[in-house]
């Protein structure tokens, strides 16, 4: 357990509404990531952060934005949710000494 908490764990929303997912870590890791997991697609990187206010895009960043105003919190925002964003979202941190990723338990988002 790398002290990662995701919230909410489950959310159902309607198309066009904004959604924010929160990832909170307790161990002061510099690198944080947001992935989405979909059947047949595996894990795909959305955005990642390498420090406070330092973020970069991943493979599937369109339609998503992120913010990191504190080391411990990494927020993923869907400005206007679409049905194609129905997915399970995982936050992860990496341990710099080993490169290992530790994942949270996931947030299941359904966009109707």
Partner 1 sequence: QQQVKQSPQSLIVQKGGISIINCAYENTAFDYFPWYQQFPGKGPALLIAIRPDVSEKKEGRFTISFNKSAKQFSLHIMDSQPGDSATYFCAASLNSGYSTLTFGKGTMLLVSP
Residues near partner 1 (CB under 8 A) are 33, 40-45, 48, 58, 90, 92, 94, 96, 98-106
Considering the complex, state which of residue 20 and residue 44 has its C-beta at the smaller distance from partner 1. Answer: 44
Check the CA dihedral 11-59-29-93 and report its sign. Answer: positive
Residue entry with tokens 């330092």: 54
Please state the closest distance from residue 107 (CB atom) to partner 1, in A: 10
The tokens for 77 are 């925002």
Cβ distance to partner 1 smaller for residue 28 or 98:
98
What is the nearest approach in angstroms of partner 1 to the Cβ of residue 83?
21
Q: How far is the CB of 7 from partner 1 (least distance, A)?
A: 14
- The residue (of 22 and 44) whose beta carbon lies closer to partner 1 is 44
Residue with Cβ nearer partner 1 (52 or 103): 103
Nearest distance from C-beta of residue 17 to partner 1, angstroms: 26
Sheet strands (E) in 1-112: 4-7, 10-13, 19-25, 31-38, 42-51, 54-57, 65-70, 73-78, 87-94, 101-103, 107-111
Q: Distance from CA of residue 6 to its chain's centroid?
A: 8
């Amino acid at each position: 357990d790398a002290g990662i908490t995701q919230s909410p764990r489950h959310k159902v929303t309607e198309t066009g509404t904004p959604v924010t997912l929160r990832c909170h870590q307790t161990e002061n890791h510099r690198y944080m990531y947001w992935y989405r997991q979909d059947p047949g697609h595996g894990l795909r990187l959305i955005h990642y952060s390498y420090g406070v206010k330092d973020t970069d895009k991943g493979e599937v960043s369109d339609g998503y934005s992120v913010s990191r105003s504190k080391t411990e919190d990494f927020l993923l925002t869907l400005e206007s949710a679409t049905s194609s964003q129905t997915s399970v979202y995982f936050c992860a941190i990496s341990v710099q000494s080993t490169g290992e990723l530790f994942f949270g338990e996931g947030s299941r988002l359904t966009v109707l």
